[in-house]
Structure 1
């Protein structure tokens, strides 16, 4: 008589040649069978992987998502175990991203949509029993930023279009009025702009534009802009001079003292709403702004423009004349110096013990809150030694070592200090 004993690995057993087993839980089970009779015995075993059929797969993904912002995608599933899910994101330009996650990774995936437009999202979840696919088309939208009129005005007597441009943004809608009259705007999403109809104005002056730009993520609200009808700058000339030049370096770089000035005169034959920008090269700048729409001949800017330097060094003064349609600029290099007339070099002590040798520190007096710049120090130490120091930092302590056969050192020393084109 043959006896067949099944051990199902979950604590239950069965007898018989043909048996069935229903597992009540998922998992991996070691299944063994023992076959025996009065004279022999046979044992065998295998591993059963008990899984749950996958069903009800879905992604809680909104119809609209934001570009370049991490988006949480939650996987839901009615039943399923020991599964692997492959996510694919197919873009309109033909590119695609693919990500694979297992059950152990959890149901939440964080993904950043990288291009605006319609994106086909697909999730395929599989185990050894079955496979289920979920698909959804979402629209990725880019948030609007950097919106403004480009340019913010037009030339008198010339045909123009009002153009509203933006730096970032997709699926954009626009409304715009010109002096209260609604304008039909052609939206060019790929170029990130909206273009109004052709117009022309025969007089200079200011007109008023009100626009609103929005998409599903953001809205500008009504924006009021002054739109100037201008005349371009014609025959501009910028002349800057330094009234108190000490000398010139390399023939064309003037040298002036700190607090000396630069004076700039600007002329032109035509132009409206003219701006003058001066970058003094010493960390300061200023803008002289003419009244919008006012011609240069009636400018309210006092000339020449005068500026006194507040720091030393080699400065590049940049003067720019511009309006909405053209510009002209000149650059003037200048060495701004602080003189050394009041500076003296003195020892830190009047008497120094000779051990030997004698190391003596020297420092500078009369330096002031702004130290002279580009300084060369020529030092006679009084012991037949001579040093030339460049650059000579007048805020630094300098040391000299004295040697003398009778254990003394001479206290006389002489320095000469000069700067700028030494």
Structure 2
């Protein structure tokens, strides 16, 4: 290897090859990083000498010893197809350079910043999604930390976003502009909307607003962060560090009053859902508890997951649960009334959240947020994957 005149070792000298400038192979071309045009160095492999000169390369095959050692290559160097054409001769010199570029399932950070110089030849994705039927509508920026809650109330033109930066932002869905920022005084652990009501869980409190302007309440009682909430009839359930707290709505005073607490989990409750007149709770203790909504008693404890139960989805008489143990369990009610796992879907990474929707043909679609910063979409009930949506950081 020789210097380029500036003290930088950039090019290889080939044994037995004339050492003139035009016989030096561009080091950056070999690394697929050369951006100079025209480049004063070769963007191709020169013919290798045979006989004694070839043996001097170190492996007897005509391959330079250092290149063979670095790449673990012991055979002949690849030859370009005689039909290969490149006007600027600026293609990559690595093995298989004449193959079609295969995209990896990772978003290009340079593309995100708007300065990727590889264009269509970049091996990373220049898209926020992979699959058919996706269309990005907008990108809402403003929160300084993780967005931990999103609510789009039915019939309203406002979108509400809560964050770990202790603020709630209000967005106009027509213009995509932020119309208000509310300081909550604590990190948002979860948010839900129910009709005209908005509930925001923060440490030690639940913030409540009616029609998002007229009435604002604070429900005291939680100890520590509120991780999950769900509404059933006139009851509000909240998963906290010490179990499940329940408030009952008083229509006369237009307020929520403490009603009960459910104990049983040994660690914080982080997920809740209601289905078939039952309440299901998931916890850091790896268990799911089934509660009767008639008498608020625990009627079954499910222990099939072996890590935190992060989220639930109720779909067509089935309960879906996901966990950091990299599984999604599909539960069905048996003749004796208990739940049993009827199917388990395995993922490569822990699953953080489940949501459901229907496509334009009214077919059910499952959305799974995983801790590799992907949202995977599956058709139900087949679990055939139909695409991915990507994020830069944790979802």
**TM bracket (short chain):** under 0.3
Q: Which has the higher Rg, Structure 1 or Structure 2?
A: 1
> Hey, which of these two has a bigger chunk of helix by percent?
2
Q: TM-score, normalised by structure 2?
A: 0.20
Q: TM-score, normalised by structure 1?
A: 0.19
Query: Greater RCO between the two (CA within 8 Å, min separation 6)?
Result: 1
> Hey, which of these two has a bigger chunk of strand by percent?
1
